[in-house]
Structures are given as C-alpha cells and as structure tokens.
Amino acid sequence: MAFVALGQGSAGNSSAPKKASRVAFILLAPGMIYLGLFFLTPLVSLVITSLKTASFTGEIGMYDYGFQVSNYAYALDQYLPQITRSFIYALIATLMALLISYPIAYFIGVKARNKPILQAFLLTLVIAPFFISFLLRTFAWKQIFSNESPATQFLQSIGVLAPDQYVIGSSFAVIAGLTYNFIPFMTLPIYTSLERLDTRLVEAGADLYATPVQTFWKVTFPLSLPGVISGTLLTFIPISGDYVSASRDFLGGSDTAMIGNVVESNFFRIQDYPTASALSVMLMAAIVVLVSVYVRKSGTEELL
C-alpha cells in the first residue's frame, strides 16, 4: 500500500503526501488504539486512584474521588526502606547480571563467530530458561535451597551458614534469584552488539601498542556499549518492579520486601488502593528519571 502511494507520488501530483500520511495513519491506528485503551487508560486511572480519599462512610476498601496529595507523603514515609531496597537490589542484580553476561556474550559473539553450530547451541542455552515459566524456575530455586535441602545443609556444615541460618529469606537469595531470572535479557543485547564487532579494529588496537586488556577497554567495550546500555535497561527496569523473587512465597523473607511486594499487599491484602497507586506512580517516575539521566550520561546518541 505504501509502495503504491510512493509510486503515485513520483508520477508528480501534490495529493501524494496527503495520501501517504493517510496510509501511515491507517497503519498506525491499531497500535495507537491499543495503547490508548490498555496503557493510557489504566495509567490515568492509576493517577486518579492515587489521589483518592478514604470513604466518607469509613467502609474498608471504599474510596472517594479527591486530590489528596498527602497519599504520596504517607506512602513515602511508610515504605521508604522498601523503596530504597528495591533500587539497591536492582542495582546489584543488574551489575551481577552484567558481570556474568558479558563474558558469555563475548564468547558467543566473538570467539564462536566462525563456529555456527557452537554459536547456535550456546544461544539456545541462553534462551532455554524461557521455555519454562519463570515462576516455576524461581520455585525450583526455592526447592533447591529450601531449609532442609542438601544444598543448605552442606553450606551449614562447611560453616558458610550458621546452624540457624538459611538461604531462603535472605537478601542474597533474592538478589541471586533476580540476577538469574534476568541474565538472558542482559546477554542477548550485548551479544547483538558484539556479534557485529569488527575484529580488525581489535587488531588495529594491538598494532597501535595496546595490550589485549587496553584494547578491550578502549575499543571492544566502547563499541559494545549500545548493547550494554539496552541490556542494563532491560534488566534494571523490570527488576525494580519485580515482586516474585522477593516475595515470601518464593525466595524472600520478612525483611526483603521490595516495592512490588508492598504494592501487592496494599492492593490485595489491606485494600489501601490510594497508597498502592501512589507507590506505583512513584516507582514509574523514579525509573523515568533514573533512566533518562543514565542514557544521557552514557552518551548513547554519540554511538554510531
């Protein structure tokens, strides 16, 4: 359709651009309508809910429309530890995922470049966890490190854990679970960047007196930065809002709750919708600010 419009345009009449823009509009419409219905509407509703006041009748779970900005202050005051914890966990898990993923991506994208079968096999291994629901995978980890499991008993016997200490319920378990679940999201974008790396540039680095380590930091890493940035964004953002790993039903304990868990309990357990909504809006705003600062600082627009 678009080609037809282009063809007519070249024949030379002034109605062509108008026609082309109508085609573009028709093509865009389904996406726009979908986003309007299922993204914009809930977002507006969320903001409205976050400003509601307690019901006049005092009934639990009922709220009136209002403009109670103090909901935000209350949420912040009440749940600051969980908010801070969310971002600290997300930061650590993102860094861990980066440290683990980069060598994997480098090996698949550069070292295995001339071995297509090995490359395909390794990529499949990276993607394989997606074949199973991440709830099940997280649950499997809970089983492996459950309090009576051989793994936990082994750690207790060699003294890494005290006899009354357990893996499940610790910050370590939550961060490890988050890292594990998001490694493919980090590996794949970095792999895509490294796969295009021109190894002749690495040779040029060596030719210009740079040791392999110096060449890595001055040539290879900067050129893979677009992948590193999209990888870190794809991990950091969902981890900040994750509520599975940190939940007490999975790897978390009494003092590992993240924003997601607080939102969940406010919504479904104590039915404090305005507070839950305020927390959600704040999480979203914080991520938007953090991400835009990060993208600007890392200067992605400077890259290729």
Partner 1 sequence: MATEFVARGQDLELVGIHKEFPGFTAIENLDLKIPAGEFFALLGPSGCGKTTTLRIVAGLDEASRGKVLIGGKDVTASKPHERPVNTVFQSYALFPHMSVLENVAFGLRQRKVADPLAKATEALQLVELEHLALRKPQQLSGGQQQRVALARALVNRPALLLLDEPLGALDLKLRRQMQVELKAIQMEVGLTFLHVTHDQEEAMDMADTVAVMNKGEIEQMGAPEALYDRPKTAFVARFLGQSNIFVGDVVEENDHSISISCNGQRIAAPKKRSEKHSGKVALGVRPEKATFHADKPDLDSNHNLVGPGEIIDIRFTGVSNQYLIDVPGFGDITVFAQNVGKSPVVELGAHVWVSWKVEHAFGLSDLPLKADNDEA
Binding site for partner 1 (CB under 8 A): 198, 200-201, 203-211, 214, 218-219, 222-223, 302-304
Shortest Å, Cβ 105 to partner 1: 18
State which residue, 69 or 208, has the beta carbon closest to partner 1.
208
Distances (CA, A) of 125 to 6, 105, 114, 187, 235: 44, 12, 18, 11, 19
Nearer to partner 1, 203 or 249 (CB): 203
Shortest Cβ 302–partner 1 spacing (Å) = 8
Residue 208 vs 293, nearer CB to partner 1 = 208
Nearer CB in complex with partner 1: 56/209: 209
User: How near is the Cβ of 214 to partner 1 at its closest, in Å?
Assistant: 7
Identify which of residues 221 and 267 has a Cβ nearer to partner 1 in the complex. 221
Helix 171-195 and helix 116-127: axis angle, to 10°?
150
CB of 201 to partner 1, least distance (A): 5
By C-beta, is 164 or 302 nearer to partner 1?
302
Q: Report in angstroms the alpha-carbon separations of 3 from 15, 18, 23, 24, 25.
A: 15, 14, 10, 12, 15
Q: Which is nearer to partner 1, 220 or 245 (CB)?
A: 220
Shortest approach of partner 1 to residue 303 CB, angstroms? 6
Distance of closest approach, residue 205 Cβ to partner 1, in angstroms = 8
Q: Least Å distance between CB 299 and partner 1?
A: 10
